[in-house]
Amino acid sequence: MTIKVAIIGSGPSGFYTADSLLKSGHDVEIDIIERLPTPFGLIRGGVAPDHQTTKKVAKAYEKTALNDAVAYFGNVEVGKDVSMDEMRETYDAVVLAVGAPTDRKLGIPGGDKEGVYGSADFVGWYNGHPDFTDLSPDLNVGAVAVVGVGNVAIDAARVLVKTPAEMAATDIADHASKAVQASPLTDVYLFGRRGPIEAKFTNVELREMGKLENCMPIVHADQLPDEVTGDWSDRDQRLKERNLATMREFLDVDPTGKEKNVHFEFFANPVEVLGGDKVEGLRVERTKVEGGRAVGTGEFFDIECGLVVAAIGYYSIPIEGVPFDSDNGIVVHQDGRVGDGVYAVGWIKRGPTGVIGTNKPDGETAAQQILEDVPDGTKPGREALTAMLDERSVRVVNYAGWQQIEQAEIAAASGEAPRRKFVNVPEMLAVLE
């Protein structure tokens, strides 16, 4: 009998699992359940709007979605429209591919002031994720502090300082585009507790900061070591050498005509958000690195800023009835097996690390485990889920529905923009009326 598999979440890890199951050649029926009408998780809502080439990976996922054995249930949230228990009862295997949608908290005094945002919210806002449309960060500020020195931090900084021309061929949400263009912002500070060697940027993202039309990358020459030392893998050693070379090149960028600056502040640990109800600045402690760890030196400095974005890591949300490891922000599992017919892939399994492709082996492992554990299907699957959702009047968006929404977004785009995103669910559903 056909094995009935539900994949909860339509991001990379969910699609790689579906693809691996299809490639196995087994008789499977795969339902992808997604809480938003729109698929692809962080490819749509996380990857920066000016990195359209990266977003093209969704075309491969589309092929999977259009396979006859696959059905897309958009606008269906597990935990709200259907319970996890019901999913278990309905499917032979349930794969959790729900990602890590919230932020690790800054956890410093003043961290709850108006104007402090986690990167999940801030990135979601500029990418038009419906959960964050109403965030409305006040960009009528001269400076922004971004806490963190990874790719998410650099994405947020870059989107804030690129010119309208540089952002023309992007799908940044309209509300964010307007706010950024109207902003008097001149300075973005990136804070890393440790040094340039420990920063987690990939080199392509870092190099881009040296090529911006109206923005200078500022590094402190005295913070750049002569060489990369430390116990790194060969791959990491090469990456860090490239990053160090790129940061040295920043010292030679010609500042003429550039009105904005992105400051790379290493050995700097934000300890307090300053201001009244609203952010007015950040107090930072100078650090030194000892044995790979940042240690405070007792020397402090303040910077003025009107907005703080904490890009210090993402965190998963516990799922009802599924054991959760709150220290690491992931479900409890044995190499992806959660137990009782449930599997985990992607960020809910590994935590929020790696690139899109890092999720592929998770999908392959889950597919293999499902086929080992469930030699034969016994559960009702799609038919039963459809009946349940019908009875509850849930407005399911199938893949054809998403394609209609996408066509409407493409048709509404102006100039070089690839699409004009709908930024709330009612607008998306209105296209289908």
Ligand X SMILES: Cc1cc2nc3c(=O)[nH]c(=O)nc-3n(C[C@H](O)[C@H](O)[C@H](O)COP(=O)(O)OP(=O)(O)OC[C@H]3O[C@@H](n4cnc5c(N)ncnc54)[C@H](O)[C@@H]3O)c2cc1C
* Residues of the shown chain interacting with ligand X in the complex, contacts defined by CB under 6 A: 8-14, 33-36, 41-42, 46-47, 51, 54, 77-79, 97-99, 123, 152, 155, 314, 346-347, 354-356, 358-359
Amino acid letter at 45?
A: G
On whether the CB atoms of residues 288 and 297 are closer than 8 A, the answer is yes
Closer to ligand X by Cβ: residue 40 or 191: 40
- Alpha helix segments (H runs only) across 162-253: 174-182, 203-208, 234-250
State CA 53 to chain mean position distance: 16
Query: Rounded to an integer, what distance in angstroms lies between the CA atom of residue 87 and that of residue 342?
Result: 10
Least Å from the CB of residue 255 to ligand X: 28
Closer to ligand X by Cβ: residue 246 or 287: 246
Cross-strand bridge partners of residue 260: 215
On whether the CB atoms of residues 393 and 82 are closer than 8 A, the answer is no
Nearest CA among 80, 64, 79 for reference residue 32: 64
Least Å from the CB of residue 27 to ligand X: 25
On whether the CB atoms of residues 115 and 138 are closer than 8 A, the answer is yes
Closer to ligand X by Cβ: residue 105 or 286: 105
If phi over 0 gives left and psi between -120 and 50 gives alpha, with beta otherwise, what is residue 269?
Answer: beta
Least Å from the CB of residue 384 to ligand X: 17
Closer to ligand X by Cβ: residue 78 or 310: 78
Closer to ligand X by Cβ: residue 51 or 175: 51
Least Å from the CB of residue 81 to ligand X: 8
Q: What is the DSSP string of 193-211?
A: SS-TTT----HHHHHHGGG
Least Å from the CB of residue 355 to ligand X: 3
Least Å from the CB of residue 406 to ligand X: 15
Closer to ligand X by Cβ: residue 10 or 365: 10
Least Å from the CB of residue 361 to ligand X: 12
On whether the CB atoms of residues 2 and 377 are closer than 8 A, the answer is yes
Closer to ligand X by Cβ: residue 173 or 218: 173
- Provide CB contacts within 8 A for 67, sequence distance 6+: 18, 22
> If you ran DSSP here, which 8-state letter would residue 315 be given?
E
Closer to ligand X by Cβ: residue 35 or 421: 35
Least Å from the CB of residue 356 to ligand X: 4
Query: Rounded to an integer, what distance in angstroms lies between the CA atom of residue 226 and that of residue 206?
Result: 19
Least Å from the CB of residue 124 to ligand X: 9
If phi over 0 gives left and psi between -120 and 50 gives alpha, with beta otherwise, what is residue 250?
Answer: alpha
Least Å from the CB of residue 347 to ligand X: 4
Residue recorded with tokens 């449930």: 342
Closer to ligand X by Cβ: residue 1 or 332: 332
Least Å from the CB of residue 257 to ligand X: 29
Helix (H, G, I), strand (E, B) or coil at 114: strand
State CA 101 to chain mean position distance: 8
Closer to ligand X by Cβ: residue 264 or 314: 314
How many Cα atoms within 13 Å fall on the side-chain side of residue 139? 24
On whether the CB atoms of residues 76 and 33 are closer than 8 A, the answer is yes
Query: Rounded to an integer, what distance in angstroms lies between the CA atom of residue 142 and that of residue 140?
Result: 7
State CA 361 to chain mean position distance: 19
Closer to ligand X by Cβ: residue 11 or 275: 11
If phi over 0 gives left and psi between -120 and 50 gives alpha, with beta otherwise, what is residue 329?
Answer: left
